[in-house]
Amino acid sequence: MTDPFMDAVSPVASSPRRPATTPLNWVPGVLIGISLLFLALVLYIPAINVFYQAFSKGFGPFLQNLSKPDFQAAVRMTLILAAIAVPLNTIFGLCTAIALANKRFRGRTLLLSIVDLPFAISPVVAGLMIMLLYGRQGWFGQWLMDHGLNIVFALPGMVLATAFVSMPFVAREVIPVLEEEGLDQEEAAYTLGATPWQTFWRVTVPNIRWGLLYGVLLTNARAMGEFGAVSVVSGNIAGKTQSLPLFVEEAYKNYDTEAAYAAAVLLALLAVVTLVLKEILERRTGGQLKKTH
């Protein structure tokens, strides 16, 4: 039997049971709708418009724009910049990752911050830094002029700018993979008599190959699509020091919109290829890249 006195004084027993709160099922739908609307305004609609404008007059005019000498020179310059900057940053990134991964020493955090510096500095500021160092009025400008060397408004300056802005990607992709793998396999290889070079090629590289390819992929995409830093140091001379992103801006300024949209389509296709390869790499690694990030 229940005690009437306890029922009278117990707030739990005397108060009526409150209905359980129902989840707001409409909130996820609203948030997804807002996200899709935002992406449509800043990404989907502009991208569709680029492709529409490029092919609005047919495929023939599009191919004619691709055959223009200035356009082909810009494509060659973009490929040259990527062909030089990507291997340089791959070597730098590998050396940096091996030196910093699984090692704790004084100044390690500072070195990591320096590697990440291109993420924080505006590309225009990076180009200005190169100008202040290697321009005619820069620190090394007079010495370069005396020896007949041109850095700014020439290929070397464009390579420096491209290499700077794309520098961190390989290192930042390889360091987490090395930290995940640890040093056990390398130490075992040394114990069995392997040289450092053999250990690097037969143990380290196979373990980091997917992260390395991912970093190289991102480095190449950034190198081909860089605008700000290259525009400062190149002089934007058509047919000589003009990359593909600079060609887009110059053609649009000169009201040659068809050529500008054609070049923009190539850059957009580069972004699509990068995303596809990124997804393939993540599937091949079973999501390991996402986990290490």
Q: For residue 209, what are the domain limits?
A: 70-292
Tokens of 148: 């007949």
Distance CA 293, CA 287 (A): 10
19: in domain: no
DSSP 245-285: HHHHHHHHHTT-HHHHHHHHHHHHHHHHHHHHHHHHHHHHT
51: in domain: no
- Give residues with Cβ within 8 angstroms of 49, minimum separation 6: none
For residue 279, name the pLDDT band (cuts at 50, 70, 90): confident
111: in domain: yes
Average pLDDT of the segment spanning 19-43: 81
Q: What is the pLDDT of residue 38?
A: 94
Q: What is the pLDDT of residue 230?
A: 92
* Residue from 269, 231, 278, 225 nearest 86 by CA: 225
Contact 189, 205 (CB under 8 A): no
How many distinct structural domains can be found in the chain? 1
pLDDT in tens, 68-103: 899 999 999 999 999 999 999 999 999 999 888 877
For residue 209, name the pLDDT band (cuts at 50, 70, 90): confident
Q: What is the pLDDT of residue 66?
A: 84
pLDDT in tens, 124-174: 999 999 999 998 888 888 888 888 888 889 999 999 999 999 999 999 989
List the CATH number of the domain containing 253. Answer: 1.10.3720.10
* Residue from 203, 179, 207 nearest 192 by CA: 203
Distances (CA, A) of 218 to 221, 238, 262: 5, 27, 23
Mean pLDDT of the chain: 84
pLDDT in tens, 95-114: 999 888 877 778 888 888 88
